[in-house]
Amino acid sequence: MRALTKLTAGPGLELVDRPRPRCGPADVVLRVLRAGLCGTDLHLQEWDDWAAATVSPPMVIGHEFYGEVVELGVDVTGIEIGDRASGEGHIVCGRCRNCRAGRRHLCIRTRGIGVNRDGAFADYVALPASNVWVQPRDLDPDLGAVFDPLGNATHTALQWPMVGEDVVITGAGPIGVMAAAIARHAGARYVVVSDASDYRLALAERAGADLTVNVTRESLADAQRHLGMQEGFDIALEMSGAAPAVTDLIDNMNHGGRIALLGLPHQGYQLDWGKVITHMLTLKGIYGREMYDTWYAMSQMIATSAPLRDAVTQVITHRFPAEQWEEAFATARSGQCGKVILDWS
């Protein structure tokens, strides 16, 4: 099969011929139809310090995917050949304290598809049946391929009730834009999104943001004045991993405000802990998706809300055949894009 592979330690990837994955007794094999590019994939191509410390080549990369079930392990039930499905990319141990308590997203031995085991930038991918999320037959394959990042957005945005709240989202990458759409769907009063890219801020506007802030020209305080807000933001979703963004949002939170942090910083940074304490702010780190409450939530929201479905779909701005993967990666790295999809069909 074709597979986009990190063959050796160092920068670069190669589209090569690899053996089709084996199907274990509790596994499912999908024929990949679509796969989404993630910032993680760019790190793996560049081979930065994180990649060098995490990945053991050779490794087929890619962890956002949608495909057709073509093979079932002998112990698999509830899934049929021909089903269309997305995949939860975090594989958990099932034995640690959190797994046994049903908090699988907190598993201390989580392994990532496309990072710690062969992934989905290939014609076929194998994964545990428990990680398969069967989708409706009429779901747009492109949309099925972005359920992983949509799950990140859903997990982050739905940490706290949003009805009537003023919400700020720092970072208008695809996940931040999806989070804006979810905040609008969930009943926020105002949704403000900040970023340094006018291209991506335009996507946030189309997703339902009331106001966007280009941080090279304005601040969140300016946004509050534009909207006539008398108090700070009630909820913040930090998607950028940028220290100035975190500083700005802490300065503009209402007392008792709640901050969910998904964006991973490149290095540590200082926080005004005095303000966090005296303003009684809640900070919560978010990683991945709750398995599988987040999957249920996003599936039902997408199925029952055409405006939300359209808002998420418009985040997908570029599509490339698998053979044009280099152009796809260059587009994703440019920042002049939303979500980039590889077509493996």
Report, as residue numbers or ranges, the catalytic residues: 40, 43
Give the start-end residues of each E strand in 231-327.
233-238, 253-261, 282-285, 316-321
The span from the CA of 90 to the CA of 323, in Å, is: 27
Query: In degrees, to the nearest 5, what angle opens at C-alpha 344 toward C-alphas 112 and 134?
Result: 60
Q: How far apart are CA 192 and CA 224, in angstroms?
A: 9
Q: Which residues in the chain belong to E strands, given as ranges?
A: 2-6, 14-17, 27-36, 59-60, 64-72, 84-87, 90-91, 111-112, 124-128, 132-134, 166-170, 190-195, 211-214, 233-238, 253-261, 282-285, 316-321, 339-343
Number of H helices, E strands in the chain: 13, 18
Query: What are the distances in angstroms from CA 189 to CA 186, 209, 309?
Result: 10, 10, 20
Residue 117 · residue 89 · CB < 8 Å: no
User: What does the alpha-carbon distance between residue 118 and residue 121 come to, in Å, rounded to a whole number?
Assistant: 9
Contact indicator for 82, 69 with CB cutoff of 8 Å: yes
CA 221, CA 229: separation in Å to the nearest integer? 10
Q: Rounded to 5 degrees, what are φ and ψ at 99?
A: -60, -45
* H-assigned helices in 69-140: 97-100
Cα–Cα distance measured from residue 16 to residue 7, given in angstroms and rounded to the nearest whole number: 9
Tokens linked to 90: 């975090």
Specify whether the CB–CB gap between 69 and 85 falls below 8 A: yes
Question: Peptide bond before 58: cis, by omega within 30 degrees of 0?
Answer: yes
